[in-house]
């Protein structure tokens, strides 16, 4: 039976591809990494990690990196729980190790619920990040007159890639929502805090949004629209 060919890219492959595309777009427009980071409203170090395909802002660099400390912890716990079986019966060292194993077992039982919650939290955060990012792209694509102004700089590289625009063509609102052009604002404080990584965003213009999704609100219409 032939093996099915894998079509879904791994996170490492996806990260590298994004990094290559960012670098090509930056060099095409003659921008330095520092200038690009400034235009995007992010730190130069963060942008450099983007180009290396190493970073995913707002989430752990790669959730699988959590496996390293978890694996080390598991190995140490296994040694503590079973190491006494390699010692001669009746020896003081065996009794001491057995007592330590009992303590470790109790600690594992006590901390297991917290670790389970942590795993669920990481999974939920990743799902939230993906949903918000996808929503942002869809809303930006819906604007006929060009990229909307963003509430913060974090989505700039993603929106620039999605719309095939240079980074400098993606406006970011500074202090107040722009007048006379569409403005993409987060739907609530969680989007601002956990995705945009800011405490406050420019206040939305008066009146209802012209479009809304689960995570974003679009204000203002295109000129003549």
Q: What is the CATH number of the domain that holds 19?
A: 1.10.260.40
pLDDT at position 181 over 80: yes
48 & 87 share domain: no
80 & 110 share domain: yes
What tens digit of pLDDT does each residue of 48-99 get? 777 777 654 444 444 555 555 666 677 777 777 888 888 888 888 888 888 8
Is 157 within the bounds of a domain?
A: no
Is 86 within the bounds of a domain?
A: yes
Q: What is the per-residue pLDDT for 1?
A: 44
Q: Are strands 211-212 and 149-150 parallel, antiparallel or unpaired?
A: unpaired
Overall domain count for the chain: 2
Q: What is the per-residue pLDDT for 132?
A: 92
Q: What is the per-residue pLDDT for 140?
A: 94
Is 28 within the bounds of a domain?
A: yes
pLDDT at position 2 over 50: no
Domain range enclosing 83: 64-116
111 & 68 share domain: yes
Q: How far apart are the first and last CA of the chain?
A: 57
Map tokens 């990094």 to a residue: 19
What tens digit of pLDDT does each residue of 23-43 get? 888 888 788 888 887 776 666
Q: What is the pTM of this model?
A: 0.57
What tens digit of pLDDT does each residue of 107-142 get? 878 877 877 787 788 788 888 988 999 999 999 999
Question: What is the pLDDT of the chain when averaged over all its residues?
Answer: 80
pLDDT at position 209 over 60: yes
Q: What is the per-residue pLDDT for 61?
A: 44
Q: What is the per-residue pLDDT for 214?
A: 94
pLDDT at position 178 over 80: yes
74 & 111 share domain: yes
Continuous segment of H or E residues that includes residue 186: strand 183-186
Q: What is the per-residue pLDDT for 84?
A: 82
Is 176 within the bounds of a domain?
A: no
Which has more confidence, 44 or 178? 178
Is 110 within the bounds of a domain?
A: yes
46 & 83 share domain: no
Is 20 within the bounds of a domain?
A: yes
User: Which stretches of the chain are DSSP H helices?
Assistant: 11-28, 33-40, 44-52, 67-82, 92-141, 156-163, 189-190
Q: What is the per-residue pLDDT for 64?
A: 52
Is 142 within the bounds of a domain?
A: no
Q: What is the per-residue pLDDT for 68?
A: 59
Q: What angle do CA 211, 214, 218 make, to 5 degrees?
A: 25
Q: What is the per-residue pLDDT for 58?
A: 44
Listed residues 116, 134, 150: the one ending a domain: 116
CA distance 20 to 51: 6
159: left (phi over 0), alpha (psi -120 to 50) or beta: alpha
Continuous segment of H or E residues that includes residue 218: strand 216-219
26 & 48 share domain: yes
Is 102 within the bounds of a domain?
A: yes
């Amino acid at each position: 039976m032939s093996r099915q060919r894998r079509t879904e890219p791994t996170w490492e492959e996806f990260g590298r591809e994004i990094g290559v595309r960012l670098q090509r777009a930056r060099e095409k427009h003659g921008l330095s990494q520092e200038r690009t980071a400034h235009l995007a409203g992010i730190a130069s170090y963060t942008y450099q990690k983007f180009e290396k395909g190493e970073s995913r802002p707002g989430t752990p660099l790669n959730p699988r990196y959590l496996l390293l400390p978890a694996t080390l912890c598991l190995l140490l716990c296994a040694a503590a729980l079973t190491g006494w079986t390699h010692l001669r019966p009746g020896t003081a060292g065996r009794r001491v190790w057995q007592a330590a194993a009992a303590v470790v077992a109790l600690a594992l039982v006590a901390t297991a619920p917290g670790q389970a919650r942590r795993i669920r939290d990481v999974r939920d955060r990743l799902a939230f990040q993906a949903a918000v990012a996808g929503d942002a792209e869809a809303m930006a694509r819906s604007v006929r007159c060009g990229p909307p102004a963003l509430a913060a700089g974090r989505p700039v590289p993603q929106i620039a890639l999605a719309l095939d625009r240079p980074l400098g063509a993606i406006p970011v609102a500074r202090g107040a929502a722009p007048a006379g052009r569409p403005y993409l604002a987060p739907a609530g404080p969680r989007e601002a805090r956990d995705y945009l990584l800011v405490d406050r965003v420019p206040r939305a213009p008066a009146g209802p949004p012209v479009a809304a999704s689960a995570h974003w609100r679009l204000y203002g219409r295109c000129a003549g629209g």
